[in-house]
Amino acid sequence: MIIKAQAHFFLKIHFFSCVLPVVFALQSNIIEAQPTPNYIESEVRDYHLPDLFLVPNQKKVLSNIYWESFAQAHQFELLEKFVYGRRLPATAVSVLGGEERCNTECDGVPAIRIQATLRLGPNPNSPTTNVLLFVPQAAKKVPVFLKLNFLGNQAEVTDKDIEITQNWIISKEGNNHATEATRGTQIRRFPVSSMLGRGYGLATAHCGDFFPDHKDGRATSILSSLGRPTGENIPDDEPGAIGTWAWGLSRILDWLITLPEVDPKRVIVLGHSRLGKAALWAGACDKRFAMVISNDSGCGGAALSRRNFGESIEVITKRFPHWFCPTFAFFANREDELPCDQHSLLAMTAPRPLYIASAAGDRWADPKGEFLAAVAATPAWNLYNFQGLESDRMPPVNLSIGQMIGYHLRDGGHDLLQFDWEQFANFADRNLKKETHSQPKKHRPEKSKNEDVLADFHPDQRILPTHPPENAVILLGKNIKPKFMSMDGEPIDWSEKDGVLTATQSKQHRNHIVSTELFHDADIHVEFMTSPIAHGNSGLYIHGHFELQIYDSFGVKNFTQQDEGSLYRFMKPLTNASRPTGEWQVYDIRFIAPNRNNSDGFRSPGTLKAWLNGQLVQDGVAFTEPRSPYIPYKHGVTPYLRKTEQTLHETGRGPLFLQDHGSPTKFRNIWIKRLPEEQSL
Ligand code: GCU
């Protein structure tokens, strides 16, 4: 359904992007009047945020593995299509004429100042950017804050040696050229001595090196050097200034991580206001940024678009049509139709630490909308057992809160000030500490209980037949009636003698047998012997979905995911442990079933560990849906199997199938030992 809705959007977007500009142009006098922003909280409309965990097939993912592979990737694509435009591909970065390093002192703090002109592309005439970096003297591998600046590097420090930018800058006077008068004017936004004193490096470059911040900036931006269209008619999902600035931050990162002074795993991307929007998008596009900070980024940054408070999509896309991709403007006054919102952008940082800062006097940026977006993104961190912002009550001014998502509301106006920096550094101290970093595991998904359960599983397969453990349920053994049914729910027609069952050969290969015992998580023990007929083909369909292959694979060197020991057509065995035809062999499998949730999809994937003839052949592979193209619920399905499948979906419990594949495989000594279901997630 979502897919249909999107197709519909596309038609509409396409129509609007072709026709509306003309209409707008004709009516420009009427439309020029700026809509009055809403600043009254009680007039904020009700809204419903898009679900971060839905994937296009309407299923919901609820584990971090599936979040990263499906939902986060899906949300990213929505942000690309509808807000920022497609992520730009990387290009070669080289240092023109080498780095310039000098020892200096910043307010008494000994520092190394490093300057480099980076060439952004493979050609001698590729564009360049000038990067200014300070690191504490004698520092090795320090964490670094990286931010773009508005007016050129010379405005960030008072240092007379810093070259004045030649590129376009925003200026009230209107000539848009930086002069000596700009030197040091932005120093409050680049507190070198205090951050160096705390053990951090500070890097910056001018945003105008990548995209001059005006409506016609595209023509002189770096985009043409990347072969992007810069004329009037650009594609609906073509990136604008924000996408280009984000790309620029990644190119600077390419260089930073080559420096001996910089810890490549602890570069923090930070930005104020429009450059805060770019920092968030850079963190979304480039997972190498270890932490992401947005300061007063507002509309199109951290603030929810659906909240009609302060700046709106209509206003921002009219005043700054060059910032986003053309499609974003279509959602002016139809924010509810936007398939994503800015909480999706914030969730792109998960599980890395994210900090959102607002200022109480900056109502234009909607501080509450920024805070609520971070609250709405928190479930993404929770998937990793990390806490974000767990309450939707805004904190009082000047109090920094949150764990892996930090937030504060500073008093005062729209700016990046010492107070903000101090909170960022405190947050980075907590979340990117050296010890934490040397053990990156802390930032990886928490070890699941399943991993422990699997780690303990090492059955003794030396002596066959094996004695079943006390609490095992015997499905096949001497002097007991086999606990198997036919696919019709009838008694089986496989031949049985002295506790040994032999698969009947059927042309259709549909004469599988089904255990009458159902289980959720279990250890499964099966002894079997292949026959020379039909390559000894058979298998164990656990729950009817996941097939441990039985096949005459003895001695096969280049074994595949169709050989014995494989999870058929999904995961080849770790080693070929197959024994020759005519010998008894043994599988011991610890199976942790996927947790299903009927309406919402899978809550957590299943996993298994398998030993074959004393060797580990599968070690913790995760799965959800059936991985074999031939599953009994699809081929030769009967009313009995339909019921079995329904039970599986309702309870998570299913049977063990022994497969008929035209070969008279023999089975004996089959048992299951149920595991406590709490062990599964
Ligand atoms: C304007 C714009 C904001 C932006 C800000 C800035 O106010 O409307 O969206 O964040 O400029 O970059 O300073």
Q: Is pLDDT above 50 for 526?
A: yes
- Closest CA relative to residue 124, chosen from 92, 155, 153, 98: 92
CATH number at residue 573: 2.60.120.560
Percent of the chain with pLDDT over 90: 74
d(CA 167, CA 378) in angstroms, rounded, equals 39
Residue 225: how many CB atoms within 10 A of its CB? 14
User: Is 405 inside a domain boundary?
Assistant: yes
| Of 399, 403, 400, residue with least CA distance to 389 | 403
- Looking at the fold, whether 662 and 574 belong to one and the same domain comes out as yes
Q: The domain containing residue 432 runs over which residues?
A: 93-99+120-127+138-146+226-437
Per the domain annotation, does 576 fall within a domain? yes
Mean pLDDT check: name the lowest of 83-97, 308-322, 391-405, 431-445: 431-445
Question: For residue 681, is pLDDT > 50?
Answer: no
Ligand 1 nearest-atom number relative to CA 276: 10
Sign (positive/negative) of CA torsion 120, 125, 129, 135? positive
- Residue 635: band (very low, low, confident or very high) from pLDDT cuts 50, 70, 90: confident
431 and 384 in a common domain: yes
Query: Which phi-psi region, left, alpha or beta, contains residue 603 (left: φ > 0; alpha: ψ -120 to 50)?
Result: alpha
The encoded tokens of residue 253 equal: 């990162």
Last residue of a domain, one of 388, 408, 437: 437
Ligand 1 neighbours, Cβ below 6 Å, are 273-274, 298-299, 311, 316, 364
Q: In whole angstroms, what is the distance from residue 550 CA to residue 310 CA?
A: 65
Q: What is the pLDDT, as a whole number, of residue 603?
A: 65
How far is ligand 1, taken at its centre, from the CA of residue 601, in Å?
41
For ligand 1, atom 12, the nearest C-alpha belongs to: 274
Same domain, 530 and 649: yes
Dist. CA 117–CA 127, nearest whole Å = 10
Q: Residues 96-155: pLDDT tens digits? A: 999 999 999 998 899 999 999 999 999 999 999 999 999 999 888 999 999 999 999 999
Average pLDDT (524-528) is 98
**Mean pLDDT, residues 449-453:** 66
Domain count, the chain: 2
Confidence of residue 8 (pLDDT cuts 50, 70, 90): very low
Among 189, 211, 273, residue to substitute to test ligand 1 (most atoms within 8 Å of Cβ): 273
% residues pLDDT > 70 (the chain): 90
> Of the residues 311, 323, 328, which should be mutated to test ligand 1's pocket, given the most ligand atoms within 8 Å of the CB?
311
Residue range 352-381, pLDDT digits in tens: 999 999 999 999 999 999 999 999 999 999
CA of 274 to the centre of ligand 1 (A): 5
pLDDT of residue 79: 98
What is the whole-number distance in angstroms between the Cα of residue 525 and the centre of ligand 1? 65
SS3 string, 468-517, reads CCCCCEEEECCCCCCCEEECCCCCCCCEEECCEEECCCCCCCCCCEEECC
Among 568, 576, 572, smallest CA distance to 546 is for 568
Active site residues: 273, 414
How confident is the model at residue 102, as a pLDDT? Answer: 96
More confident residue, 612 or 440: 612
pTM (2 d.p.): 0.66
On whether residue 168 sits in a domain, the answer given is no
CB 545 within 8 Å of CB 656: no
The pick from 364, 414, 416 for probing ligand 1's pocket by mutation, whose C-beta has the most ligand atoms within 8 angstroms, reads 364
Domain boundary among 437, 472, 498: 437
pLDDT confidence band for 84 (50 / 70 / 90): very high
Q: Position of tokens 């020759």?
A: 580
- According to the model, what pLDDT value does residue 70 have? 84
Whether residue 11 is contained in a domain is answered as: no
Q: Assess whether 431 and 573 both reside in one domain.
A: no
Tell me, yes or no, whether 302 and 349 share the same domain: yes
Distance (Å) from CA 296 to ligand 1 centroid: 9
Residues 390 and 527 in one domain: no
pLDDT band at 456 (very low <50, low <70, confident <90, very high): confident
Tokens 């995209």: give the residue.
Answer: 211
Kindly report, residue by residue over 573-618, the tens digit of the pLDDT.
999 999 999 999 999 999 988 877 655 466 677 889 999 999 999 9
Which residue, by CA, sits nearest to atom 8 of ligand 1?
316
Which residues pair with residue 202 across a beta bridge?
Answer: 134, 145
In a shared domain, residues 430 and 492: no
**Arithmetic mean of pLDDT, 445-471:** 77
> pLDDT tens digits for 11-66?
333 333 333 333 333 333 344 567 899 999 999 999 999 999 988 877 788 778 77
523 and 404 co-located in one domain: no
Is residue 206, in this structure, part of any structural domain at all? no
Domain boundary among 437, 458, 476: 437
Examine residue 187 and state whether it is found in any structural domain, yes or no.
no
Q: Is 6 exposed, middle or buried (0-12, 13-18, 19+ CB in 10 A)?
A: middle
- Contact of 88 with 244, CB cutoff 8 Å: yes
CATH of residue 358's domain is: 3.40.50.1820
Q: Do 618 and 509 belong to one domain?
A: yes
In this predicted structure, what is the pLDDT of residue 10? 34
pLDDT for res 3: 30
For residue 364, the ligand 1 atom closest to its alpha carbon is 7
Pairwise pLDDT comparison (70 vs 315), residue with the higher score: 315
Residue 45 lies in a domain: no
Same domain, 490 and 568: yes
Residue 476 and residue 424 in one domain? no
- Which of ligand 1's atoms lies nearest the C-alpha of 316? 8
Which of 371, 433, 360 lies closest to 405, judged by CA?
371
pLDDT in tens, 217-240: 999 999 999 999 998 899 999 999
Which ligand 1 atom minimizes the distance to the CA of 274?
Answer: 12
- The pLDDT value recorded for residue 293 is 98
Provide the mean pLDDT of the chain.
89
**Is the model's pLDDT at 453 over the cut of 50?**
yes
In angstroms, what is the span from residue 46 Cα to ligand 1's centroid?
A: 25
What is the whole-number distance in angstroms between the Cα of residue 236 and the centre of ligand 1? 23
Whether residues 475 and 521 share a domain: the answer is: yes
Residue 332 domain flag: yes
